[in-house]
Amino acid sequence: MSKGLPETRTDAAMSELVPEPRPKPAVPMKPVSINSNLLGYIGIDTIIEQMRKKTMKTGFDFNIMVVGQSGLGKSTLVNTLFKSQVSRKASSWNREEKIPKTVEIKAIGHVIEEGGVKMKLTVIDTPGFGDQINNENCWEPIEKYINEQYEKFLKEEVNIARKKRIPDTRVHCCLYFISPTGHSLRPLDLEFMKHLSKVVNIVPVIAKADTMTLEEKSEFKQRVRKELEVNGIEFYPQKEFDEDLEDKTENDKIRQESMPFAVVGSDKEYQVDGKRVLGRKTPWGIIEVENLNHCEFALLRDFVIRTHLQDLKEVTHNIHYETYRAKRLNDNGGLPPVSVDTEESHDSNP
């Protein structure tokens, strides 16, 4: 024991001479602008150009679903939105075909290029929705399809050797077409949006708005907003996902004034005051699709494509897909879902 004493004293002396460093408490620092102190150009601002170049090389996916009764001009409106023949009507379906007895899901993909940027656009149509005598639960095949796309993405994501770029077939936006009755929403409208607003970004639109007067249109929009609020239905952009005051101010205006967009679609051109315009010819004149005095198509186009397209994709990935993913992993005890091939091999084993 006596031999160990000097060592203990030495250790104690050393600990007094060299005290252990104590971790400093983390104090959040206020962001300080140091632009004025920079000695020269760094190049941080080029990240935007780098991102732009990468996007131009790879392109991006955008998947839009259209839901509503037949005869509301869904195909025409989508063709008008993207100024090209992208709907099923242009390629495979005509009025002489019988209305499907059940809801069908038809997806058609196109590559659209503008200004060097490529977009792989998929239009998902739902012929047969709301066209039956008994439309009970006719939203179920649509919800099933949306969840199947989340499942596909999840299975790709949990693969050990996963693809560098996972194909994205998830529905980013669902345009729900409301019949221009001028009265109120149908029980089917409320039922659909109540169920589907939890799994996809729903953007309600009033179809064929030129069948109503300006006063009727304004009153109908207010009535629809009120009914959605009373029934607890949140359409996109959802209040809870506003990121900051700027977002909230911009989105509040859309929620309180623009929604639901009262639109007219047309892929026919007419000459008006020496200009070629998209429009519909009536006994009273030409209804110009992109004229805000005639309808709100331009507002819808700007909203879906020019201001909120990236956000629609982000909300799909960060909110709807994450909710599905968390539920699936939770149901599976925290384990990733088993692939179809693995299930089959397990079944074949004795």
3-state secondary structure 19-75: CCCCCCCCCCCCCCCCHHHCCCCCCHHHHHHHHHHHHHHHCEEEEEEEECCCCCCHH
List the domain range (segments joined by +) for residue 243: 57-265+295-332
- Position 17 scores a pLDDT of 52
pLDDT per position as a tens digit, 256-287: 999 999 999 888 888 888 888 888 888 888 88
CATH number at residue 235: 3.40.50.300
**Is residue 22 assigned to a domain?**
no
The pTM (predicted TM-score) of the whole model is 0.80
Inside any domain, residue 339: no
In a domain, 76, yes or no: yes
Rounded CA-CA distance 292/258 in Å is 12
Asked whether residue 303 is assigned to any structural domain, the reply reads yes
Query: Closest Cα to residue 279, out of 300, 303, 258, 263?
Result: 263
Q: Give the C-alpha separation, 269 to 168, whole Å.
A: 34
32 pLDDT more than 70: no
Q: Worst-scoring range by mean pLDDT, 119-133, 202-216, 302-316?
A: 119-133
Check: CB of residue 102 under 8 Å from CB of residue 207: no
Residue 37 domain-assigned (yes or no): no
Q: Residue 16 pLDDT > 60, yes or no?
A: no
Say how far apart CA 197 and CA 304 lie, in whole Å: 17
For residue 184, tell me if it sits in a domain: yes
Mean pLDDT for 57-77 is 90
Residue 65 lies in a domain: yes
Q: Is residue 112 part of a domain?
A: yes
- The predicted-structure confidence for 135-193, as pLDDT tens digits, reads as follows 888 899 999 999 999 999 999 998 888 888 899 999 999 999 999 988 889 999 999 99
The domain tally of the chain equals 1
Looking at the predicted structure, is the pLDDT value of residue 349 above 50?
Answer: no
CA proximity to 97, closest of 125, 62, 138: 125
Report the percentage of the chain scoring pLDDT > 90.
Answer: 43
When the pLDDT of each residue in the chain is averaged and rounded to a whole number, the result is 83
Pair of tokens at residue 157: 């994501």
